[in-house]
């Protein structure tokens, strides 16, 4: 299962599909030119416990690093990942 990224104007999402169905997603919205807010992360019930949510947050961090963007994790799940992974602090707003 590969992480995909869609961006449209000032919002986007990272997501994972399995057998043509979206099974996990993390949505964000730009607030200014160099900041994004992660506002929602969701994993289908049957895919929980596989680390997909953390993989999506990790993809968001990689995107932020590549594009010199800071992240505001308003989503409780994403905030929890940032709290548990100090190495992501460089992109935390």
Asked whether residue 82 is assigned to any structural domain, the reply reads yes
> What is the model's pLDDT at position 44?
97
Asked whether residue 12 is assigned to any structural domain, the reply reads yes
Asked whether residue 93 is assigned to any structural domain, the reply reads no
Question: Is-above-0.75 flag for pTM?
Answer: yes
Domain count, the chain: 1
Q: What is the CATH number of the domain that holds 77?
A: 3.40.630.30
Ranges of residues in the chain whose predicted pLDDT is under 50: none
Q: Which domain covers residue 68, as residue numbers? A: 3-88
Asked whether residue 75 is assigned to any structural domain, the reply reads yes
> What is the model's pLDDT at position 1?
82
Asked whether residue 65 is assigned to any structural domain, the reply reads yes
Asked whether residue 36 is assigned to any structural domain, the reply reads yes
DSSP string, the chain: --EEEEEETTEEEEEEEETTEEEEEEEEEESSSSEEEEEEEEE-GGGTTSSHHHHHHHHHHHHHHHTT-EEEE-SHHHHHHHHH-GGGGGGB-
């Amino acid at each position: 299962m590969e992480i995909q990224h869609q961006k449209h104007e000032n919002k986007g999402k990272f997501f994972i599909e399995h057998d043509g169905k979206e099974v996990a997603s993390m949505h964000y919205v730009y607030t200014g030119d160099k900041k994004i807010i992660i506002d929602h992360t969701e994993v289908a019930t049957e895919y929980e416990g596989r680390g997909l949510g953390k993989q999506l947050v990790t993809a968001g961090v990689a995107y932020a690093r590549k594009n010199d963007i800071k992240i505001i994790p308003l989503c409780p799940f994403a905030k929890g990942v940032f709290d548990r992974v100090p190495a992501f602090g460089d992109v935390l707003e």
